[in-house]
Amino acid sequence: MGKIVGIDLGTTNSLVAIVENGTPRVIPDSDGNSLVPSVIYFSENGEVLVGNRAKEKMVENPKHTIFSIKRFMGKGIEDVREDLPLLPFDVSPESEHIIRLRIFGRDYTPPELSAFVLRDLKRNAEAALGEEIKNAVITVPAYFNDAQRQATKDAGRIAGLDVLRIVNEPTAASLAYGLDKRKQGVIAVYDFGGGTFDVSILKLSEGIFEVLSTSGDTHLGGDDIDEQLIRLVLAELRHTPEMRGVPAIRKAVVKAKEELSAFETADIAVDALNYRRTITRSEFNALIQPIVERTLAPCRQALKDAGIKPSEVDEVVMVGGSTRIPLVRESVQSLFGRVPHTELNPDEVVALGAAVQADILAGGKRDMLLLDVTPLSLGIETMGGVMSKIIPRNSTIPASATEMYTTFAEGQTNVKIHVLQGERELVKDSRSLAQFDLKNIPPMPAGLPRIEVKFLIDADGILSVSAQEQRTGKYQSIEVKPTYGLTDEQVESMILDSFEYAEADIDARLVIEARIEAETVLNATARGLNNAEYEQLSSDEQSAINAAAQHLRETVKLEDHHAIRDAIERLSEATMRLAELIMNGAISKALKDKRVREVQ
């Protein structure tokens, strides 16, 4: 197995990291940035940009510049209805169970869109590590449900990655945090990111990181703070701007929000709308107080579920960009009664932890082990629309439960099973996870078949189901059709679709590599022209070199690595004799130097 990278696929930014010589480090892109904005831009001619280059298009071309796609993972249209007014994207009419964004007449699901970001990270890692990367650990918010986890795994597959493990973000952070300090005791991880909020309570002892409880809100983050500020601006504008004005407002309020973490006042300036105002930190605090308050209820819930009092928490670790906000820090400090840790970069700590988990999977660290939990109770629908819990929330995963089913009618050969997730009593208040039929039950009198159904949540927090009829011992084939997700066939066809991008990826990489080599050859040639030996060449030889160099300089601009390679070859041939002369000159010079030394 090749190298395994750790990926933090974030709402706002994404990162890739790796452990080398026992130390995790973030792998920057070719421009040296460790954060890749989770933004994808589609141009009309089919070009796709990712990261900073895509982010630049946000204001000028909002409709085709997709951001915060993580909020749509594993969701149907009803789940995000209230966000849509502030988002400039076209939503496909076929979005009931999976949101689809329509971009230049083509529909994209969130896993496909996320795959663009993952492919970019994969490429950065490959360029930096000099080998193909096929395996990854990807992090998700701890409070992600089955469908959201599955969607993340699908995104990895579409990007050409084998996702060896889905790790919860706060848990990953604790791995990075506890790595060098050999900590013992109870820690709370408060993870407030761009789109999601998580809190996890862990017990650390002798390298075992045991999650006691987790809670959160997968729809609560910095984006909500931005939206509050956008609404403030919209309310103050005399006339409502068109949708296309919103990205400019968003950009201005994000800047103000970030400045308010360091300064007492900041300006919100939207030149295009002729809008400007100053906002003080206390105004800002009053505005976001309700959002910060919403993070505290899950904290109390997690403490209660873990059976831990706030005073029994030894350390509090802060993760996610939104924890830079002073009011957030103050609120967490007063809840837990201690100063939270902020020494690790809150943007990088999750990726670093993912890399540590990748290293554990690769067999590098046998002394560390992460024992995580399922954030939501798993249940099945029983008579009267009631959800019967079979695996309670905060159960250590992998976890399983077995239920017995039978038939109600003579000769009945099918039994319907509806699997749910959530904490509510009624089916209608729970999240539907999957529905399936137990098929081919041997015809028997009612109530006689005994079908044992095993529900298994794996270490990724993802459900699988198997069944066995006890009287015949026959295994049932179960096709689990996810309610809010892609079927295997759909993912397969997306992988096929993505090959065009994958090929473009390989081509892009080969072009980059060829360009780097071309530059090296051109530099060496330029140095050669300054050597005395150049004058020994015939004028034909000299003009051949200059022509070949000029040809390479032209060819480098093309997106064609074959042509670049050919031009490199041509220049190398033309400079062959010059290189020999220089080499000989260097040798005779070296011999001369030696003779001089010997004489002395």
Partner 1 sequence: MNFFEVFNLPRILNIDPKALERKFHELSRQYHPDYFTTAPEIEKQKALHMTAILNDAYRTLRHPERRVEYLLNIHGFKPDGSKAPKALLMEIFELNEQIEEVRSGTASPEQARSLAGLIREKRERFDAELQAASREWDSLVADGAPETKLKQQLEKLTEIVSESSYIRNLEGETH
Tokens 């590590």 belong to residue? 129
Among 8, 112, 348, 359, the active-site one is 8
For strand 315-319 and strand 369-371, is the pairing parallel, antiparallel, or unpaired?
A: unpaired
With CB under 8 A as the contact rule, which of the stretches 181-189, 359-367, 475-483, 524-532 interacts with partner 1? 359-367
Question: What is d(CA 464, CA 400) in angstroms, rounded to the nearest whole number?
Answer: 10
The type of residue at 309 is: K
Mark 430-469 with x for binding to partner 1 (rule: CB under 8 A) and - for no binding. --------------------------xxxx----------
Question: What is d(CA 375, CA 394) in angstroms, rounded to the nearest whole number?
Answer: 6
Is the Cβ of residue 460 or residue 505 nearer to partner 1 in the bound state?
460
Neighbours of 376 (CB within 10 A): 23
Single residue of 127, 344, 362, 465 touching partner 1 by CB under 8 A: 362
Is residue 598 near partner 1 by the rule CB under 8 A? no
- Integer-rounded Cα radius of gyration of the chain: 29
Cβ 400 to partner 1 shortest distance, Å: 4
Closest by CA position to 180, among listed 312, 315, 356, 15: 356
Is the Cβ of residue 304 or residue 595 nearer to partner 1 in the bound state?
304
How far, CA to CA in Å, does 89 sit from each of 66, 69, 99? 7, 11, 11
Tokens 């905060």 belong to residue? 394
Is residue 396 near partner 1 by the rule CB under 8 A? yes
Q: Is 107 a catalytic residue?
A: no
Single residue of 1, 243, 386, 426 touching partner 1 by CB under 8 A: 1
Among 55, 70, 122, 257, the active-site one is 70
Cβ 370 to partner 1 shortest distance, Å: 7
Is residue 370 near partner 1 by the rule CB under 8 A? yes
Is residue 205 near partner 1 by the rule CB under 8 A? yes
Single residue of 361, 462, 495, 563 touching partner 1 by CB under 8 A: 361
Q: Which residues contact 267 (CB under 8 A, 6 or more apart)?
A: 256, 276, 277, 278, 279
Single residue of 318, 328, 360, 552 touching partner 1 by CB under 8 A: 360
Q: Is 560 a catalytic residue?
A: no
Single residue of 32, 85, 105, 363 touching partner 1 by CB under 8 A: 363
How many residues are listed for the chain in this entry?
Answer: 600
Is residue 208 near partner 1 by the rule CB under 8 A? yes
Cβ 362 to partner 1 shortest distance, Å: 7
Closest by CA position to 463, among listed 387, 399, 373, 382: 399
Is residue 161 near partner 1 by the rule CB under 8 A? no
Question: What is d(CA 76, CA 157) in angstroms, rounded to the nearest whole number?
Answer: 21
Among 29, 112, 120, 169, the active-site one is 169
Question: What is d(CA 494, CA 558) in angstroms, rounded to the nearest whole number?
Answer: 30
Question: What is d(CA 508, CA 38) in angstroms, rounded to the nearest whole number?
Answer: 20
How far, CA to CA in Å, does 171 sit from each of 131, 315, 399? 29, 14, 18
Is residue 480 near partner 1 by the rule CB under 8 A? no
Is residue 512 near partner 1 by the rule CB under 8 A? no
Is residue 478 near partner 1 by the rule CB under 8 A? no
Closest by CA position to 254, among listed 288, 290, 230: 230
Number of residues that bind partner 1 (CB under 8 A): 28
Tokens 């597959």 belong to residue? 157
Is the Cβ of residue 297 or residue 516 nearer to partner 1 in the bound state?
297
- Applying CB under 8 A, the residues found at the interface with partner 1 are 1, 164-165, 205-206, 208, 210, 357, 360-363, 366, 369-371, 392, 395-401, 456-459
Q: Which residues are catalytic?
A: 8, 70, 169, 191
